[in-house]
Amino acid sequence: MGLFKTIKQNLDSTREQVKKSLEEAQQRTKDQLDSAKQRLTETLLGENISKARNSQQINSDDGSFSSRLEMLIDSALQDGVLTDQERAVIMRRAEKEGEDPEEVEMIINARLLEIQQKQSPAISQTAPPPQQKEVKLSEEVKKKETEEIKTKNEQVFTAPLVLNQSKCRKDFSGKTSVIVPEGVTEIGDSAFDRRMEIESVILPASLKSLGDYTFYGCTNLKTVDLSQCAQLESIGKSAFESCTNLDTVDLSQCAHLESIGEKSFASTGITSIVIPDKVEHIGKRAFAYNKQLMSAIIGCSAKDYGDYDEHRSEGIFRDCPNLVDLTFKSRVAEYTGAKTIKRVTFCNTVNEVGKWAVSECPGLEEVVIADSVTRIGYAAFGGCENLSSIVLPDSISEIDDGTFHETKLAEIVFPRELRKIGFLGTLSKLRKLDFSKVTKLSVIPEDFIDEAPKLKTLTIPIGVITIEENIGGENLHQLFLPPTIKEVQDINQVDLDIYCFSPSIEELGLMVDEIEDEQKANRLHVLPEYLESYKAQRDAEGISSKILIIDEIPEELRYYYDN
């Protein structure tokens, strides 16, 4: 047994020695092969460097590519690693500049090798490949390359801040649909004027200004999309004038719009318009000559838009024959030139119904005035010959001359806060003036009533001190004067019963004496306790008219006596 054990141990030892010798021989062979490979690679790369340099000298006068391509190569190779993305960007640029791709590839490889040798001269060719890295291109280079590739592949329009006429002619030539790109802040004067082919326009969120005559005379333009234009501040003169097929303009999203220029939307096909609340300026004839316009709302910030020239020919709604519904939200409701209004509303943001506001509208039938209104201006409703009723809120403190001149009002109930009133003018249907709520009015003006043939009785409210010359109303039969009255200037009516509840009047000018028929002399009716003093005054002034005692006070005038 000992012999066999010795023989086995010797065999195992011999096997281990043979195995070790083989492994050492294999390693020596591998090392020799690796060394040969490295020497061969270095020889080949050296030749590539030489060829690349020769190629540079042949293909470039100064031994380099264009500055742009050189910048790309330097940026990509500066860390000694070239990613696939970097290589692709360089090759696209080289192709664009007309360089031979194979030569560029050779030069890139040569430069990369030079950089790697400088960084690590003993680098092993058997070392594992480096991990991919993030792109190290500068932000400027990446931005420019991205824009160029996007423009080339997608043909995206690069937007300047301002679109002028020449740019629009070039970039939108022949197009029926115009989509102004994001980034444009202003469209210049006449940019698209008289472009008959344009049918639709979409404007961007970045837009702040539309110049004069921007789309003037685009007769086939049907739609303008302003839904994104929250930053739009101004629309220039005649911007959409003579766009005869444009039937809808929605400015509701134009929250920062402040100015609408002269004739901006004149001679279009729009049927309604709502002017945003922030708009302050509305130019002359801004919406004039719109034959299809039926309704309009003027925003609460609008001011100085009224047409007050000599001929009143510059109104914002001049010659809009179908405009029947008008709403004012502006602090002062001004004259618009509209002549066909049937319904008008003065919202609770209105403080004043201005001069001529809706005058000479023969079809006006309905008026709504909010209780925010404190003043009605000169001839505001003058000439509205079919206006037969109106409700005046108690907030109104002043009514100017001619407010209701030549209307069909049969009754006017004056507001509680009334402090000043002008002459009423001619009211052919007027039967009653109701001052029963009024206590703050002090003067009835001269020629208060020009002509009111159906008005028979007039009661002057408590608080009135003076009635100026010629109260008017030639068919007036009864005049009731309050206890507060102190002065009554000449009254030209005759055959008039005057009921006076005042203890004294400074002048009895109300007693007309120069008449031929004494039966038509005015008769003054006073309370019993004042009879003697009035008779004495009459005799002193040489007036022969009768002074009578008020023997019975009408119930509706009882408050005179009580006060």
* Domain range annotation of the chain: 18-124+136-152, 430-563
By mean pLDDT, which of 294-308, 328-342, 488-502 is the weakest?
488-502
341-394: pLDDT as tens digits? 999 999 999 999 999 999 999 999 999 999 999 999 999 999 999 999 999 999
C-alpha dist (Å) from residue 197 to 169, 317, 458: 12, 29, 67
The residue to which tokens 């802040």 are assigned: 185
Structure-token pair, residue 382: 């003058």
Q: Could you tell me which of 496, 488, 490, 550 has the C-alpha nearest to residue 522?
A: 496
For residue 471, the tally of other CB atoms under 10 A from its CB is 24
> What average pLDDT is seen over the chain?
83
417-448: pLDDT as tens digits? 999 999 999 999 999 999 999 999 999 999 99
Amino acid at 303: K
Is the overall model pTM greater than 0.85, yes or no?
no
Amino acid at 235: I
User: What is the rounded distance in angstroms from the CA atom of residue 311 to the CA atom of residue 348?
Assistant: 31
153-212: pLDDT as tens digits? 333 344 568 999 888 888 888 899 999 999 999 999 999 999 999 999 999 999 999 999
> Residue 531 in contact with residue 549, Cβ under 8 Å?
yes
Mean pLDDT of 317-346: 97
> Residue 214 in contact with residue 234, Cβ under 8 Å?
no
The residue to which tokens 């407010």 are assigned: 403
> Residue 97 in contact with residue 66, Cβ under 8 Å?
yes
